[in-house]
Amino acid sequence: MWRRPTLLAVSGGVDSVVMARLFALAGFPFVMAHMNFGLRGRESAEDAQFVADLARELGVECIVEKGDVKGYRKRNGVSVQMAARDLRYEFFRRVMQERGIERLATAHHADDNLEHFFVYLYRGNMDVAWRGIWAEQGDVIRPMLGYRKEALILMAETEGWSWREDRSNQGIDYLRNKVRHALMSTLDEFVGEFYQISQRVQALDTEGKALAEAVWLEECGEDWISQGYLGRCGGVRLPVDSVDAISAGENLAAGNRNPFYRHLQRHLMGLGFSKSQVDQALGSKQVGNRFVSEGYILWVGRMGWSVLPKELASPSAIAIEWGEGEWLWGDLRLVIDPIPVGVFEADAYYFGEALAGKSVVIRSWVNGDSIVGFGGVSQKLSDVFVNQKIEPWAKEYVAVMMCSEGILCAVEVKRSNLYRVEEADGDCWRLRWLHK
């Protein structure tokens, strides 16, 4: 039976090495990916070489990339751990997109699951603590989650499989390491038990999701909605009127007695946000402010709040030759066809015959982009987005089509004055767009 390949996140540690070897023994097709942050000098380089050598031994492709943790941390004001996680998942998503891979496997195991409980218990997020690490979450799978660390080590030693040790895991600089060294050694007997508990909680969470959403929608007057690209990528939004109502003084003073506030808080804490982050967001009026949990970003926008997965990546740029055909850019299907000059539809752009055969690039918005409208006035696309009430997070998901002369259009936002349909044109080009 033909199977689609899986991308395996391989660090070189015993967990991911055992996962890779088991995939190979089972005959599952896979590709390996490793990010070298260079934080441990020569050891980091040796880890990357070890992973590349393992891939050669198993006869699979391996993609290794260097990540600039210090630069990312400086630009985004996050911790080293958060910077490394963000860079790692951005890398994984890009590889998946480039190679058409639909699943990512990470080597989280049962001990990680119990550590996760104490980390989120310390942060005061009980819902996420008791739920544990998801065995399957969207396109991410964690096939080792039911195994103890000691079982993975025993398997590797028995089979003679070598692996790399990360000495930074021995320190206590980070909360997770403190939990690992101060608590986990005394809780061996609870690791398996908590795995069973977290799986039951996850099952209940999944089964009760529809009911919980129905209650939430009823309480909030169906304001918490998922639609358009945001809904398709797993995000949700709350319109500004609802945010204002929830953040009103009497509502915040009422605290948990206010059902709107209570459901909002529970919903967002279920996505990894803390109670203080929810309260700070409610008090924030600055468009573009954002609040970050482990897996999501909450954006304060012009039209309300938008919450979307942190791992979401904008589509990569593609180059086309203008002519009849169809092209996919993210969830957008762009259709170009020749038609006689005549009645124009509202949801389409029309270009003159002279555009035929021109090289066109479809890409995300870049800071500094400008577009010349039909009146001949040049305007920054960022200003157009503000006028069109495009939310801050959504700018990079607008398909910008440009040729050597400049920007032709920002799809669904604005058409430029380039390659206008002339009176002498018998035919013209129609550009339509449809969402998957």
Instruction: Kindly report the number of other CB atoms within 10 A of residue 170's CB atom.
Output: 10
| Domain contains 83 | yes
Final residue in a domain of this structure, among 202, 234, 256: 202
Final residue in a domain of this structure, among 246, 279, 309: 309
Residues 6+ apart with CB under 8 A from 44: 36, 37, 38
| Domain contains 429 | yes
Burial of 121 (0-12, 13-18, 19+ CB in 10 A): middle
Instruction: Kindly report the number of other CB atoms within 10 A of residue 386's CB atom.
Output: 14
Report how many helices (DSSP H) and strands (DSSP E) the chain contains, helices first.
15, 21
Confidence label for 390 from pLDDT (cuts 50, 70 and 90): confident
Strand partners, 334: 327, 433
Higher pLDDT, 320 or 303: 320
Mean pLDDT value of segment 121-126: 62
Mean pLDDT value of segment 258-267: 65
The proportion of the chain whose per-residue pLDDT surpasses 70, expressed as a percent, equals 73
Mean pLDDT value of segment 257-281: 72
SS3 label, residue 239: strand
| Domain contains 109 | yes
Q: How many degrees, rounded to 5, is the angle at CA 167 between CA 165 and CA 168?
A: 125
pTM of the full structure: 0.48
In this predicted structure, which of 99-113, 121-135, 354-368 has the lowest mean pLDDT?
121-135
Can you give the C-alpha Rg of the chain in angstroms?
A: 25
Euclidean distance between CA atoms 131 and 144, whole angstroms: 17
SS3 label, residue 147: coil
Q: What is the DSSP letter of 323?
A: S
pLDDT single digits (tens) 144-197: 988 888 889 999 999 999 999 876 555 445 545 554 544 545 555 556 565 666
**In 190-317, where do the E strands start and end?**
236-239, 290-292, 296-300, 304-309
| Domain contains 216 | no
Higher pLDDT, 74 or 94: 94
> Is residue 367 scored above 70 in pLDDT?
yes
| Domain contains 335 | yes
Displacement of CA 91 from its chain's centroid (Å): 11
Domain shared by 113 and 187, yes or no? yes
Domain shared by 57 and 117, yes or no? yes
pLDDT single digits (tens) 83-105: 888 888 889 988 988 888 989 99
Domain shared by 15 and 95, yes or no? yes
Final residue in a domain of this structure, among 250, 278, 309: 309
Domain shared by 304 and 345, yes or no? no
In this predicted structure, which of 25-39, 153-167, 248-262 has the lowest mean pLDDT?
248-262
Ramachandran assignment for 390, one of left (phi > 0), alpha (psi -120 to 50 degrees), beta (any other): beta
